[in-house]
Amino acid sequence: MKKISSFEYNTLIWFLIRACFTELTFSTILYHIKQDAWISIIIGIILGLIPLILYEYLKQKYPDETIISLNNKLWKNFGKILNFIVFIGSLAIVTCTFWILVHFANALFLYKTNLWIISLALIIPICYAATKEINIISKISLMLFYVSILFNVLIFIGIIGNVDINNVKPIFENNISNIFNCSFMFIGINIMKLFYLNIINKNIIKKYSSKQSILLYLITSVNLLIIAFTTICVFGIDLSTLYEYPAFQILKRVNILGIFDRIESILSIEALFSMFIQITIIIYYLKETIKETFFTNEKTDKYIIISICLFIFIISNIIFITHEAGEKFFTGPLLYLTYIVLFIIPLITFFKSLNDVKVLKNQEYSSS
């Protein structure tokens, strides 16, 4: 496998965290705790460092291993069970993320188009991208990252004059438990998807830097905080909760020097790309799990990916009857499942790795 640069790798953090924020997380948090949404996100950013450090520890401690091979190495046969649980959970997560992608595209661009047709149009390029090696996926991420940063800076310049700080007052209108519940929602839906970067072992990343990863994490998270804060400040809480996607509605007010107008269409496409990359990375993870478990060769990769994409395409179109039912599932049962597969199981692996270190030290002591 070809190596990728540390910065290419870390731009994936930008898209994995951003995916589903404006399409699901932000509007849901607004609905539950209104103007305290930005406080909940700040708490989520701080607590989100816990899973990030957990993933970073495993990557640094075992630079030659992916998270799949690491479970097999530490746990033997039980590791296959853990990988299977993560596989099933990840299949549910990616199917639901694809459902969000399809309905977001339908709401903003193709509202008169049949959902099956939209799904087909989106799953084909995702399937093609997932067949590529991680170095190609990361290069695409790098190019999109520069474009995304440019437009986010332009938007901030264009919207800052409309901010009214009084719209976030009064603060702490909700009890602390509701605020923390929404923080855990933000962590589960957005931050814990960084788990899937552990499918890339450290040794194929040139000049890997944990500091750079943490920096990109903070930049991305603070960017989402700015989106939430400015949306409430500009619209006020009543108008913000009225829209299905308030963070995109606010972009209609952006006009930069008379050159950039209707910028919401551009950023909507950027949001689509964020989910596109997240789905591609998760499918890549699913494919690697099957390869590691059944020792398949590279010739079967395309068939594995096509089978996974076909499953996602069919199930995502029949699993939820209404949009409301889908959102309740994402912020309820799926969120609990996410914590199990993306935090509890890596945490079990972490504790096993600590025990593994103790065993090695005892062996070295005995031999000496």
Helical H segments across 243-300, by residue range: 246-249, 264-294
Give the residue among 49, 338, 346 at the shortest CA–CA distance from 220.
49
The pLDDT of residue 325 is 72
Question: Token pair of 367, please?
Answer: 């031999």
- CATH superfamily, domain 4-361, is Amino acid/polyamine transporter I (1.20.1740.10)
For the chain, how big is the Rg over CA atoms in Å? Answer: 21
Q: According to the model, what pLDDT value does residue 236 have?
A: 85
As a whole number of angstroms, the distance between CA 338 and CA 340 comes to: 5
The confidence score (pLDDT) of residue 179 equals: 93
Domain range list for the chain? 4-361
Query: What pLDDT does residue 48 have?
Result: 96
pLDDT averaged over 10-residue windows placed end to end, the chain, 368 residues? 87 93 89 91 96 94 92 89 95 93 84 88 93 89 88 77 82 89 95 95 90 94 91 85 78 57 64 90 94 84 93 89 74 92 95 71 47
Which pLDDT value is given to residue 298? 78
Q: Which of 146, 221, 179 is nearest to 39 (CA)?
A: 179
For helices 77-108 and 345-367, give the axis angle rounded to 10 degrees: 150
What pLDDT was estimated at residue 363?
A: 46
> How many CA within 13 A on the CB side of residue 69?
14
Can you give the pLDDT at residue 1? Answer: 61
